[in-house]
Structure formats: C-alpha cells, structure tokens
Amino acid sequence: MSAHRLSPVAWILVLLGAAIMAAPLLWTLLLSFKANGELMRDSAAAFSAPYTLENYRAILQGSSLLRWLANSLIVSLGTTAGMLVLASLAGYGFARIDFPFRRTLFVFVLLGLAVPEQAVILPRHQLFATLGLHNSYTGLILPGLVGPFGVFFMTQYFRAIPKELDEAALLDGASRLTIFWRVLLPLTWPAQATLGVFTFLGSWNDYWWPLISATRSERFTLTIGLASSQMNYAQTSGLGFLMAQAVFASIPILIVYIVFQKQIVRAMAGTAAR
C-alpha cells in the first residue's frame, strides 16, 4: 500500500487533522508572548503584535515554577536510574541464573502487569503515611520503581544475548557479578536507553500519585504545580503568564522526545511485533 499515491481527499483529511493538532499548540505559543493586560480585554489580541518576552522573564525571575522543575527533574531522574538498576539486576537473574522458584517468581512479577494503579493507590497512600514518606523525594520516586514491565523487558533482552559469552567467562573463574557488570551490561545499552526514556516520560508526566503524595508546594512536581496554578487561575498574573508556564514546562520533555526519537519509534515497533 505504501507504494501507492495518496488520493487528494485523503491528503485534505490528513492536512485538516494536522491543522487540528497544530492549532492548540500555536495558540498557546502566541498567548505566551502577549502582555497579560492586553489579553484580559480580549484574547483575540494574541493574533496581532506587539509580542513580548515579559512572561518568560517573570518565570525566570523566581516563580515557584523553577522549584517545581527541579523537583520534577530529581524525581524523574531518580526513578529512571532506580528502574534501570533494579530491572537490569532482576532481568539478568531471571534470564541467566537458575535458582529455586525462578519460574514461579517470574510469573508472580508478570501478574503485576494486570494491576491498574487504582487498585493500589489508596492503600499505598495509607502505607506511605504510616512510613512518613509523603512530601519527600523518596516517597515520590518509590512507586515508579515497581512496574513489572521493566523487569520483563530486560529479562527478554538478556535472554537474547548468546549464552556462550557468560559460559566462557564462568570457565575463566569470573564471578556472576563481574560477568553481569563487565560482559553483559555493556551489551544492553539499546535496551537501557529505551527503558530509560519510557520511564522518564512516564515519571515526568505522572499525575495521580504526586497529586496525593506531594501536598506541600515546595515538593510539587511540575504537573502538580501547574495544576494548582491552573485551578487558581483567577489569582495568577494572567493568561499570558499561565501559557508561558505551560510552554516553559514542556521544553524539557520535548527535548527528551527529539533527542530520543529513534529509541521511542524502535520501542513501538518492538511492542507491535510481539
């Protein structure tokens, strides 16, 4: 089908869709460059000059947004690093070493794939309250580490690496940990990148858990902070400022998307092929 030319009707539909995709983004961008007072009178002012960088300057001159941005970075990077370490160790263990109850435990982990967040989030909130983990980075990071997908993904990847590699190293007297660290881990870079990007995206955009766990403004992540200023819209400095916040907050994740586009597309291909 790919060899065929697209009919004009199909092209028009695709372009119409593209316009619907792009218009909200452009509208947001335009609003973010307008003075708040002017938009207060009529938001159609967004379509004409003068434009200003005032809203972005206000953000950089110490709004809470920078604090939330730092929190989001700490939580997302912490979650990503933790996930890569735990999933790689467990993946290697499940794929390569025979130990008692290995199959049973693997199935037990896979069962977690069927558990939606809703089934655990309220009791988890209770548990973390008991442990005094709310409003802490640890409390925000830990729930992101227990998704079984990472373990499943890394186990599959380790299984695909030829066994002769570790067997030769074992005969040379290397320990399991050395083999894991020196021989196999360097071969898993593509998998680390894919899992890393997805964990980062998921953690960066998480809403439900930080909403109930981080209740103090200084521990808000970007998603929660922006939600709070969105709900107190009347008290903020105005529409232009709000939209500049949205644009500013999207920049890190758009950079991740653009840099790691290849990994994202390849991972999709992998998912669809299974």
Partner 1 sequence: MGRSARWTGLAFVAPFLILYVVILFYPLLMGMGISLHRADLFGARTFVGFDNYVRLFGDPIFHQALGNTLLLTLMIVPPLTAIALGLALALNRPTRSAAWLRGLFFSSSVLSVTIVTLIWRFILTPDAGLVAEILEAAGRPPIPFLSDPELTIPALAITTIWWSIGLPMMLFLAGLQQIPADIYEAAALDRAGPWTRFRRITLPSLRRTLILVVMLQTAAQLQLFGQAQLLTAGGPSGASRPVVLFIYEVAFVRWELGYASAAAEMLFLLVLAATLLQYWAVRPREEG
x/- contact string, 166-185, with partner 1 (CB under 8 A)?
----------x---x-----
**Is 234 among the residues that bind partner 1 (CB under 8 A)?**
no
CB of 91 to partner 1, least distance (A): 9
CB of 240 to partner 1, least distance (A): 11
Q: How far apart are the first and last CA of the chain?
A: 22
Q: Binding segment for partner 1 among 55-63, 159-167, 186-194, 238-246 (CB under 8 A)?
A: 238-246
How far, in Å, CA of 208 to CA of 186, rounded?
35
> In the set 75, 84, 140, 239, which binds partner 1 (CB under 8 A)?
239
**Is 254 among the residues that bind partner 1 (CB under 8 A)?**
yes
x/- contact string, 10-39, with partner 1 (CB under 8 A)?
xx-xx--xx-xxxxxx-xx--x-------x
Q: How far is the CA of 264 from the CAs of 70, 76, 134, 226, in angstroms?
A: 24, 17, 32, 26
Q: Which of residues 193-232 bind partner 1 (CB under 8 A)?
A: 201, 204-205, 207-208, 212, 222-224, 226-227, 230-231
x/- contact string, 146-165, with partner 1 (CB under 8 A)?
x-x--x--------------
Q: Which of residues 67-126 bind partner 1 (CB under 8 A)?
A: 85-87, 89-90, 92-94, 96-100, 102, 105, 109, 112, 114-126
